[in-house]
Amino acid sequence: MQVNLSDQSVLVTGGTRGIGRALVDAFAEAGARVAFTYRSSSDAADELVDTLTDQGVEALAIQGDVAEMDAAQATVDRVLEAWETLDVLVNNAGITRDGLLLRLQEDDWDAVIETNLKGVFNFCKAAYRPMMRQRGGKIINISSVVGVTGNPGQTNYAASKAGIIGFSKSLAKELGSRSVTVNVVAPGFVETDMTAELSDSAQEAMLDAVPLGRPARPQDVASGVLYLASPAADYITGHVLHVDGGLAM
């Protein structure tokens, strides 16, 4: 898919690893200016900026916890200061803290909801006014197959990811008249650090349920996001795009 996003400013949360890293690379390849956030991987962030700069891509790495409203506002302000517009926002940063509800601690619940769901709220709220004023923009929020189907041991994660879907549909209705689209990508089983933590048996069980018979590569998810960020998707809003090899069926 050839997508041309030259002159567009893109912000990806959690861009140092996994799906976020693939997103940064895909947007850079499409000719966009790319800002990304990270929480603690500062070496990886610096390296990525150097690589992008060598490729002639304008890039910004911004440290901050997505769960903090002030950090979200400061990040969006910094992008606007540097590039004047924010054309595409991808809320990708996310964590898991798995455990059966019987054993799940309050901390595990709070950390996952605050990072995965409040993080999306924070960045969408910070981007709301600038995108409204621009009368255009594309917001893509990364949910999960688990937010649609549920998964034992992931009540906190599933709640955060299902919450993202309801949040995004509501925001799509709020911002539609300003030509700002809000969509969701729901990946299935993707090969990243997050899934590497799963036991071999959990990985096998997950793979057995994937009709396409293989895990997703981060680039598979990036292709779906890039499409929703492209002019080809101008008339799509409030949509949940499953990039899961058929897992949610």
* Residues near ligand NAP, by CB under 6 A: 13-20, 37-41, 65-67, 92-95, 115, 142, 144, 187, 189-190, 192-195
Q: Give 88's Cβ-side CA count (13 Å radius).
A: 32
Question: How many Cβ atoms from other residues are within 10 Å of residue 132's Cβ?
Answer: 16
Least separation in angstroms between CB 64 and ligand NAP: 6
C-beta of 94 vs 224, nearer to ligand NAP: 94
Alpha-carbon distances of 20 from 81, 155, 211, 230, rounded to whole Å: 23, 24, 25, 17
Kindly give the residue spans of alpha helices, DSSP state H, lying in the chain: 18-29, 42-54, 69-83, 106-112, 119-134, 146-149, 155-175, 193-196, 200-208, 218-229
Least separation in angstroms between CB 235 and ligand NAP: 26
Least separation in angstroms between CB 111 and ligand NAP: 8
| Catalytic residue list contains 157 | yes
Tokens found for residue 99: 């455990």
Q: Which of 38, 128, 157, 227 is catalytic?
A: 157
C-beta of 92 vs 230, nearer to ligand NAP: 92
What is the C-alpha separation between 212 and 12, in angstroms, rounded? 28
Least separation in angstroms between CB 177 and ligand NAP: 29
C-beta of 137 vs 187, nearer to ligand NAP: 187
Q: Which residues, 6 or more positions from 133, have their beta carbon under 8 angstroms from its beta carbon?
A: none
Q: Which residues, 6 or more positions from 155, have their beta carbon under 8 angstroms from its beta carbon?
A: 101, 104
C-beta of 20 vs 163, nearer to ligand NAP: 20
What is the C-alpha separation between 68 and 208, in angstroms, rounded? 38
Q: Annotated catalytic sites, by residue?
A: 157
